[in-house]
């Protein structure tokens, strides 16, 4: 399934709404969307995963890559509301150690404030 | 020069059309009936065929039908000539395989225009055929490269058999068509101390196979002694994690590494994002060994911890790739770790040489065909009784 991305500015960050599958086939689209946000100087990227049905092994790698790249530019990445299947895949690879997971936007933004 | 074949049994009309076409600058071949027309079409492969409807034996529509049934000829462009121009007749001609119509009463301008249209279609079809052929050739080349990379990976793998005085190993590797990056091997520290690992590079194609080969070089005995100086699985993965960062496309490895100390009766192990490690005690107890943790390259500061299990004769270790159990049946349900575990349990104390291929057969039965979507690698290791 193809992927759609939509960005929305929030105080001190950008929420990237994702829908579709985060997989090998959609890697370029995801990378381009995220890289554009990073280059604009965003310090906190919040990936809204509520409409993502599936993440494959390439998708996991991309999430790790995004988190590393943001860290390099003194930023951070958080994740919102992953579906249970996606949450399970990510917890097997311990992704939440790199990208904290939140159930709502306020908590994700508060997480940023605590970290700052 | 573009070639036109004119098929007409009536000499006057045929010669007149041929002369006209020659004046327009085309090379012209003439055929006096349907049969010799088909022969000429096969022999000369003209760009366009102008065909009379009314002919003895094989008439125009029958000619078209034969062309469309012949895989060699079916893309030929055919312009059918008729003295009738009833809509029903035109519809019948098109339905039976003509591409366009030309009235016998057509002016020279109309003939010129129709022939040019036919030529345009013919050259588009030719280009399409050429491009299709080119893609087919490249596809073949790519498949040959993947096969040769798969053979190379296979050449790096260990051979089933006795790998220590009292340790037996049975392994199986089935590369997928697209070739993943599975690789496994043994590191012989000494007769009684064996390193065993299975790794999976993310992605498909030649690139993960190359990355796997590079990690397996790092995991050779001499290299490990130089870089780490110990057989401790956690220390080995912690060091490997620093040497193999994420690629620029976010590619990485998952791996399970175990060190079997036969003399002390211990199995120490560490995993990095790799779930395919299962311990089967002779008593029947089965446990999955992996804990949730990051794959290699996700975070350069990660420390991988070594866990330890006591090992007794008859106990077995299985290292495997997710390609073995992430196989969907026709409903899309995955075979899964649970069913694999159940299969291993059911085999009980059957010889390893039956269990390893038996698990793969069960996965094949589940998916209903032989071709796995991803690489499949499975290595079973058993500690034997020393006194027998």
Averaged pLDDT score across all residues of chain B = 93
Superfamily of domain B3-131: Response regulator (3.40.50.2300)
Neighbouring residues of B331: CB distance < 8 A, sequence distance ≥ 6: none
B98 DSSP assignment: -
Residue environment code for A66-83, b if the CB has 16+ CB neighbours within 10 A, otherwise e? bbbbbeeeebbbbbbbbe
Count the alpha carbons within 13 Å of B261 in the hemisphere toward its beta carbon: 13
Residue B180: pLDDT over 90? no
| B contact residues 143-202, partner A, Cβ 8 Å cutoff | 202
Residue B13's nearest CA partner among B54, B67, B59, B58 is B54
In degrees, rounded to 5, the angle at the alpha carbon of residue A23 between the alpha carbons of residues A21 and A24 is: 150
A97 touches chain B (CB under 8 A): yes
Residue B388: pLDDT over 70? no
A89: confidence class by pLDDT, cuts 50, 70, 90: confident
pLDDT of residue A116: 38
End-to-end CA distance of chain A: 37
Count the alpha carbons within 13 Å of B266 in the hemisphere toward its beta carbon: 9
Q: What are the pLDDT digits (tens) for B314-351?
A: 999 999 999 999 999 999 899 999 999 999 999 998 99
The pLDDT of B355-364, averaged and rounded, is 97
The pLDDT of B128-147, averaged and rounded, is 93
CA distances, B115 to each of A37, B7, B54 (Å): 56, 15, 20
β-partners of residue B292 are: none
What pTM was estimated for this model as a whole? 0.80
Delimiting residues of CATH 3.60.40.10 domain(s) in chain B: 157-383
Task: Name the residue in chain B with its Cα closest to that of A32.
Answer: B249
Domain B157-383 fold: Phosphatase 2c; domain 1 (3.60.40)
With pLDDT > 70 as the criterion, what percentage of chain A qualifies? Answer: 96
Q: What are the pLDDT digits (tens) for B275-312?
A: 999 999 999 999 999 988 999 999 999 999 999 999 99
**B281 vs B310: CA distance, rounded Å:** 10
Question: Hey, of B211, B246, B250, which one would you mutate to test binding to chain A, going by the most A CBs within 10 A of its CB?
Answer: B250
Residue B33, burial from CB neighbour count under 10 angstroms (0-12, 13-18, 19+): middle
B247 DSSP assignment: P
pLDDT of residue B71: 92
Delimiting residues of CATH 3.40.50.2300 domain(s) in chain B: 3-131
The whole-angstrom distance between residue B279's C-alpha and the CA centroid of its chain comes to: 32
B384 DSSP assignment: P
B294 touches chain A (CB under 8 A): yes
Neighbouring residues of B285: CB distance < 8 A, sequence distance ≥ 6: none
Give the three-class secondary structure for B235.
helix
Q: Strands B78-82 and B100-103: what pairing?
A: parallel
Under an 8 A CB cutoff, do B202 and A57 touch? Answer: yes
Rounded to two decimals, the ipTM of the complex is 0.85
Residue B269's nearest CA partner among B352, B194, B172, B367 is B194
| B179 within 8 A of B381, measured Cβ to Cβ | no
pLDDT of residue A112: 54
Under an 8 A CB cutoff, do B294 and A97 touch? Answer: yes
Chain A residues with CB under 8 Å of B299 CB are 64, 68, 97-98
Residue-range domains of chain A with CATH: 4-105 (3.30.750.24)
A10 touches chain B (CB under 8 A): no
Q: Strands B253-261 and B193-201: what pairing?
A: antiparallel
Torsion, CA B2, CA B7, CA B11, CA B14, rounded to 10:
-40
| B53 within 8 A of B62, measured Cβ to Cβ | no
The pLDDT of B154-179, averaged and rounded, is 92
The pLDDT of B262-266, averaged and rounded, is 95
Residue B358, burial from CB neighbour count under 10 angstroms (0-12, 13-18, 19+): middle
Beta strands in B14-71 (DSSP E): 27-31, 48-52
Own/partner pairs, B282-287, CB within 8 angstroms, 24+ separation: B282/B312, B282/B313, B282/B314, B282/B315, B282/B349, B284/B345, B284/B348, B286/B341, B286/B344, B286/B345
Residue B53: pLDDT over 80? yes
| B293 within 8 A of B272, measured Cβ to Cβ | yes
The pLDDT of B103-130, averaged and rounded, is 92
């Amino acid at each position: 399934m193809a992927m759609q991305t939509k960005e929305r500015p929030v105080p001190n960050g950008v929420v990237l709404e994702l829908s579709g599958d985060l997989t090998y086939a959609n890697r370029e689209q995801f990378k381009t969307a995220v890289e554009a946000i990073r280059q604009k100087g965003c310090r906190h990227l919040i990936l809204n995963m509520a409409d993502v049905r599936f993440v494959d092994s390439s998708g996991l790698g991309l999430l790790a890559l995004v988190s590393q790249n943001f860290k390099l530019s003194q930023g951070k990445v958080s994740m919102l509301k992953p579906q249970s299947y996606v949450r399970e895949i990510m917890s097997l690879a311990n992704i939440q150690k790199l990208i904290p997971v939140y159930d709502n936007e306020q908590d994700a933004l508060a997480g940023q404030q605590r970290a700052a | 020069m573009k070639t036109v074949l004119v098929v007409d049994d009536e000499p006057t009309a045929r010669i007149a059309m041929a002369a006209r076409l020659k004046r327009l600058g085309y090379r012209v071949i003439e055929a006096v009936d349907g049969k010799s027309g088909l022969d000429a079409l096969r022999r000369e492969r003209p760009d366009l065929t102008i065909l009379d409807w009314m002919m003895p034996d094989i008439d125009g529509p029958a000619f078209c039908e034969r062309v469309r049934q012949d895989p060699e000829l079916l893309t030929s462009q055919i312009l059918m000539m008729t003295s009738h121009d009833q809509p029903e007749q035109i519809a019948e001609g098109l339905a039976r395989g003509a591409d366009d119509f030309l009235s016998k009463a057509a002016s020279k301008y109309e003939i010129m225009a129709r022939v040019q249209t036919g030529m345009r279609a013919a050259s588009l079809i030719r280009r399409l055929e050429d491009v299709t052929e080119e893609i087919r050739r490249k596809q073949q080349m790519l498949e040959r490269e993947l096969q040769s990379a798969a053979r190379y990976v296979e050449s790096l793998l260990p051979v089933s058999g006795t790998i220590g005085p009292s340790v037996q190993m049975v392994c199986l590797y089935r590369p997928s068509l697209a070739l993943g990056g599975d690789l496994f091997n043994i590191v012989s520290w000494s007769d009684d101390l064996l390193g065993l690992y299975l790794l999976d590079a993310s992605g498909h194609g030649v690139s993960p196979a190359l990355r796997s080969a590079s990690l397996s070089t790092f995991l050779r005995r001499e290299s490990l002694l130089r870089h780490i100086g110990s057989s401790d699985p956690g220390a080995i993965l912690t060091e490997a994690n620093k040497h193999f960062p994420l690629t620029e496309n976010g590619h990485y490895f998952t791996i399970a590494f175990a060190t079997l100390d036969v003399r002390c009766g211990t199995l120490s192990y560490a995993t990095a994002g790799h779930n395919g490690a299962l311990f089967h005690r002779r008593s029947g107890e089965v446990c999955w060994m992996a804990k949730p943790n990051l794959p290699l390259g996700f975070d350069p500061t990660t420390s991988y911890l070594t866990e330890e299990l006591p090992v007794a004769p008859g106990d077995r270790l299985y290292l495997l790739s997710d390609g073995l159990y992430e196989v969907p049946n026709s409903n899309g349900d995955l075979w899964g770790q649970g069913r694999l575990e159940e299969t291993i349990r059911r085999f009980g104390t059957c010889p390893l040489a039956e269990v390893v291929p038996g698990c793969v057969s069960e996965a094949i039965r589940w998916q209903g065909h032989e071709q796995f979507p991803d690489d499949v690698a499975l290595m079973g290791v058993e500690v034997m009784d020393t006194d027998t």
